[in-house]
Chains A and B, each alone.
Chain A
Amino acid sequence: MSLLGADSRRDMEIHRYPLIVYGLVPLTALVLQAWLPRPLGKYAWFDLPLVVTVYFALGRRSPIQGTLMGAAMGIFEDALSRRAIGVNGIAKTAVGFLAASVGIRIDVENFTIRLMLNFLLSLLSSAIYLFVYRILLGLELEWSWLTQLYIAIGNSAIALILFPLLDRLQLRD
């Protein structure tokens, strides 16, 4: 991976999309994340909102936008669950910020790097979730790292298919 100056890379490779994509893609991810566990049952090892957050954060290369998108997606997921609102929000806020910050500094056009980033950021999101729930809030929560590993692998697999599709929606000059 090649390290570049932050401003030069950002100016060169900011991905732009039609406005409707910013609305529809996250909404679709949230709806599918809520619906797919029904037919898939316990094998729903993925976190589509996280994948979408990482994608837009890496593409837009704006930490503020990544932060806001992560926070919105996380809070939305929390609102649909029965848990306290903000736990997922904090985890995805941090992930969105980190993904955008990394996107400024490294070449994220490489698929392997994208997949590795997705995998690592998924695990990081799980770790932050666990930290907030158990340490920050002091609540009891049973946890399975194996499940989180499956989810991280699932996210990477989805990213492998989804990222090229979303790349086609970019606005080209």
Chain B
Amino acid sequence: MASFFVRYRNLLVLLAILMAQIVGLAVQVRRINNTGRSSFDPNDGPGVRLIRLWAEAVVSPFERGIHGSRLGVEYIWNDYFDLRNVRHQNQELEQTIARLQLEQASLLEDARQGQRLQALLGFQEKYIYSTVAAQDIGSSGSAQSHVFYIDKGAKDGLKPDMAVITPDGIVGKVRDVFPHTSQVLAVNDQSSGAGVILETTRIRGILRGNVDGQLMIVGILADERIKPGERVLTAGGDLIFPRGLPVGVVEKVVRDPERDAFIDVMVKPAAHLDQLDEVLVITSTQPRFSDQEQKDIETSEEVKGAEAQAIKDQLKASQIMAEHLPGLIEPNVPADQQPLNDSTPPNPVLRPPLPLHPDRFSPGDAPTPDSGPGSEPATGPAGKPAAKPTQPATPQQPVQSAPQRNP
């Protein structure tokens, strides 16, 4: 018996290790639905979680070290050596900020109005309230699993199922949280899922990854309106991602190989999923503006107030100028008798002097069309043309309107 174990010890060790792993897999994978398909339980048991914790604890310090070294080199290069065109860029950015602040003032008013209307309708829109910035420090290293690790964990307030985004677009969700690091499941993983909506056609679908790590929207009926270039946004129904975050743009539409009436929409991600560096974890969403946004509002109000003040100053200057202009405002004359309010023409139309020997060519003696050829010219009682007054008896209508003051 002993010789049997000695002779086949290699094979026995192999079988023992394989069997132990198969039993371990059987514990993790359970048959949980009626269709007979197995399903991997995403909630790790205590033993499995311990193994993951150990593995993460071994790898993450080295990953942090490598990442920190790289950032240090980049920092030295970017902040001390590669400073060409910085002054010019700074000027451009300052101009952009000034322009955006003005635009923001009007947009915030719209947002406030939208919030008020939503409150009236009883609709609670979730706004991003607080985020935690984190660095991507490593990946799973497996082509089949698109997960990565960030350098923030439970001690930074992170919890599972929090959304992970970049300013460009959504990235994934926190899957597992360790004390100082977290595992993030990227949106291009095969097992991920996010509710999305096409911006113009308003068609909803589920976003997931395929075997090549590409994003695709599955489960939508064939629709000719879907064209490449259309923007894809989060729909907000998955309780992970707030509504309206950019996801990407439609790259192409392909037929679902398994279902004839359905199509798969390939999406080009807005965020650079292959080369992530810094990400934001949404730790809280609230139906109101965040502190930072409140500050922005105040800044915008100040900017807007300054703009309004500038307009007032312009008006004031025009008033002062008008007061100093002679003839427009007489300080000793009542307001209703000011020259500005006088409707008489400042330059009345002068009539030509009366001719000594008027004839038919004289002004006023020319036959009018309605007098007709047989009609008599307008003559006086003695057969002479009527005398024309040199000045009108009543004030004439002004030829030119009185100067208007700019309100």
Contacts and interface: CB of A to CB of B under 8 A. Distances in A.
* Chain B interface, >50% SS class: mixed
B93 interface: no
Nearest to A72: B17
B141 A147 contact: no
B133 interface: no
Interface stretch (A13-21, A39-47, A113-121, A155-163): A39-47
A169 interface: no
Interface string A132-152: 100011111111100100010
Contacts of B276: 38
A71 B21 contact: yes
Nearest to A104: B10
Interface string B300-315: 0000000000000000
Nearest to A71: B17
Nearest to B213: A42
B229 interface: no
Given A27-B58, A79-B52, A84-B25, A34 B40 contact: no
B40 A93 contact: no
B7 to A, nearest CB: 13
Interface string B167-208: 000000001100000010100011100000000000000000
B136 interface: yes
B296 interface: no
Place the interface of chain B in its size category: 35 or more
User: Considering the complex of A and B, which 7 residue pairs feature the smallest CB-CB distances, nearest first?
Assistant: A41-B274, A79-B55, A142-B211, A33-B141, A81-B145, A81-B140, A63-B10
Interface of B: 9-10, 13-14, 17-18, 21-22, 24-25, 28-29, 31, 37-40, 42, 48, 51-52, 54-56, 58-59, 62-63, 66-67, 136-145, 147-149, 175-176, 183, 185, 189-191, 210-213, 274-276
22 contacts: A30-B58, A33-B141, A35-B138, A35-B139, A38-B139, A38-B148, A41-B274, A45-B143, A67-B17, A79-B54, A79-B55, A80-B56, A80-B140, A81-B141, A82-B185, A83-B145, A97-B10, A136-B22, A136-B25, A137-B40, A139-B39, A143-B211
Interface of A: 27, 30-31, 33-39, 41-42, 44-45, 48-49, 63-64, 67-68, 71, 75-77, 79-90, 93-94, 97, 101, 129, 132, 136-144, 147, 151
